[in-house]
Amino acid sequence: AMTCCWRAPQQPPAAAPNAGVLCFTTSGTTSKPKFVLHDQRTLLAHGDAIARAYGYSDDACVLASAPFCGAFGFATLAGGLAAGVPVACEPVFDAAGAARAVKRHRVTHTYANNEALVGMMQAAAGPDDFSSARLFGFASFTPALDNLLDLARDARVPLTGLYGSSELIALVAAQPRTPAEGDTAARYLPGGTLIYPEPAARARDPATGQILPHGESGEIEILSPSLMLGYLDNPEATAAACTEDGYFKTGDLGYTLSPRQFVFQTRMGDSLRLAGFLVNPVEIEQVVESLPGVRACQVVGAMKQGKTVPYAFVLLHDGAQPDPAGWTAACKAAMAGFKVPAGFSALQAFPSVESANSVKIQKHRLREMAEAMLAASS
């Protein structure tokens, strides 16, 4: 006779709370891509912090617009799961589908890049489609070719600027909506007040290494419990990522408004050292984008005769013709001479790379193109 013996399956050993469980990838727009390793305790705690900081009540509903494999999408999901509120999502983001989902599911919170939010609001069928909105956060990855703030005002959508990274996890900061949370004048700027009660932000002068007073631009450094375990199999990069006192060196240019609130300006690698001054290229881009025929602009620093000069790449409105001489004259009248672009080139599109969060412009490719143009003209 055959006998059969059933054994209960062996219980797998419990993982340590700080076991590495998830990797995000950096986009590689300014350096080689890296794997960013996080442990489960940090990820769970970050979900809880998001739910508290962004005000998830029992009737909240979160719309996920970014893929869950990236820090932006994962943080959106983690906050909803931590609070036990519904998270609406589609296999692939579609602006019209997202707008319908906001109305159908009475979405209260969503976080997306500026282009996605613009697309959603343009796709809305009626003025009351977003009446359930309590907070829509935006991360500005690429130039806004449409006026996000005007659309949000018309749709009565409460907007605020965000900040995050793979290393600190997304949604680690949001600009304040009330004076109790910080300076509300910065509400529509990227950056924010850190969502943890004790963390700190500071800006360091990259030339002198000195910590800067509030309002002065330098490299943003952040102390936060959401910090990664490290870069996977890359101890050298991990060691170089933090200061001796534990602050993460973000590689971002910005300035602080308080020990917990800051404004993001651009990636440090995209900032310009012109005539001894640290310049945010957005200052120049905004002037160029106001010129006749120009739809969008990207400014990079390029070497010319041993010094860094700004160079502008532009996208034109349909039917417009390039006017480098006129643009140069207009820039000279509007800004300091060392900020005036040394040249202009019109492109059909900016070179870009698609990440889990958005399409990001490859500034390093623009720099190479600018230096080739300057070398050819000298």
Residue pair 228/38 in contact by the 8 Å Cβ criterion: yes
Q: How far is 318 from 142, CA to CA, in rounded Å?
A: 20
Q: How far is 29 from 352, CA to CA, in rounded Å?
A: 9
Question: Quick one: pLDDT at residue 143?
Answer: 52
294, pLDDT greater than 80: yes
Which letter does DSSP use for residue 32 in this model?
-
For the stretch 305-328, pLDDT in tens is 888 899 999 999 999 999 999 999
Residue 142: pLDDT band (50, 70, 90) is low
Token readout for 114 is: 């500026």
84, pLDDT greater than 90: yes
- Find the distance separating the first CA and the last CA of the chain, reported in whole Å: 95
4, pLDDT greater than 70: no
Q: Which residue has the higher pLDDT, 211 or 27?
A: 211
Residue 28: pLDDT band (50, 70, 90) is low
For the chain, helix (H) and strand (E) counts, in that order, are 9, 21
- In CATH terms, the superfamily for domain 272-377 is ANL, C-terminal domain (3.30.300.30)
Q: How far is 249 from 133, CA to CA, in rounded Å?
A: 34
Give the long-range contacts of residues 262-266, CB within 8 A, separation 24 or more.
262/163, 262/173, 262/191, 262/192, 262/201, 262/203, 262/220, 263/186, 263/189, 263/190, 263/191, 264/161, 264/163, 264/189, 264/190, 264/191, 264/220, 265/217
Question: Quick one: pLDDT at residue 356?
Answer: 59
Which letter does DSSP use for residue 212 in this model?
P
238, pLDDT greater than 60: yes
Question: Quick one: pLDDT at residue 125?
Answer: 82
pTM, two decimals, is: 0.77
Q: Which residue has the higher pLDDT, 165 or 279?
A: 165
Region 65-71: what's the mean pLDDT?
90
How do the domains of the chain map onto residue ranges? Answer: 272-377
Of 110-114, 257-261, 302-306, the range with the highest mean pLDDT is 257-261
Region 108-137: what's the mean pLDDT?
91
Region 59-80: what's the mean pLDDT?
94
Longest CA span, the chain: 100
Are β-strands 344-346 and 200-204 bridged in parallel, bridged antiparallel, or unpaired? unpaired
In whole angstroms, what separates CA 233 from the centre of its chain?
Answer: 26
Mean pLDDT, the chain, rounded, equals 89
In whole angstroms, what separates CA 272 from the centre of its chain?
Answer: 19
Burial of 144 (0-12, 13-18, 19+ CB in 10 A): middle
Q: Lowest-confidence range among 67-76, 136-145, 291-300, 345-354? A: 136-145
In whole angstroms, what separates CA 96 from the centre of its chain?
Answer: 23
197, pLDDT greater than 80: yes
Region 131-140: what's the mean pLDDT?
92
For the stretch 322-334, pLDDT in tens is 999 999 999 999 9
Q: How far is 295 from 11, CA to CA, in rounded Å?
A: 61
302, pLDDT greater than 80: yes
Question: Quick one: pLDDT at residue 145?
Answer: 45
